[in-house]
Amino acid sequence: MRNYFAGACATLVLGCFVYGQQPQGGTSQPTKSTAQADLTNLLDAKIKAEWEAIKNKDQKAYGELLTDDFIGVEADREGERYKWKAQMELQESAVTDYTLSFLKVTPLCSDAAFVRYEVFIRFPPKSIVRFEKILVGEIWVKREGQWKVLHYQETKVK
């Protein structure tokens, strides 16, 4: 009788451990992946708007996507760029088209995310360099209800 009682207790304890490993309510995984997909879609649209502003040399639209304390580091070895400088340089931009790919969003907390992607840039036909491929890493933060770029870092790919 003792053995049956011990076996029943062991089964109950093991069952509690197994049950405790299950997600609560069975809905936490889909909710998390839905939130991840929503954030990815939102930031994908923002990044497309960012590159459209660069292509169109639209300083106002570009500036609205950057935080006031934005810092960008481009692969041209000219150091960091603050928001005002990044906006001013748009007038010298020679980007005629671009293709974004391999977007990956990694949430850091509810108000910040790390985004990485590849961009293939096209320049005018008479340019010395016609095409360029770069890998980009950006930190996006939510400020006053709006997602904006805090940091931009690019690396050229050969």
pLDDT in tens, 119-128: 999 998 888 8
Letter for the amino acid at 108? L
Q: Output the pLDDT for position 31.
A: 65
H or E element that contains 155: strand 146-157
Neighbours of 105 (CB within 10 A): 20
Q: Output the pLDDT for position 113.
A: 97
Q: Output the pLDDT for position 97.
A: 94
Q: Output the pLDDT for position 127.
A: 80
Give 11-60 pLDDT, tens digit per residue: 433 343 334 444 454 445 556 688 889 999 999 999 999 999 999 999 99
Give 75-118 pLDDT, tens digit per residue: 888 889 999 999 999 888 889 999 999 999 999 999 999 999 99
Query: Rounded to an integer, what distance in angstroms lies between the CA atom of residue 21 and that of residue 53?
Result: 48
Helix (H, G, I), strand (E, B) or coil at 30: helix
Q: Output the pLDDT for position 35.
A: 84
CA 73 to chain centre: 16
Domains, the chain, in order of start with CATH, read 35-157 (3.10.450.50)
Letter for the amino acid at 27? T
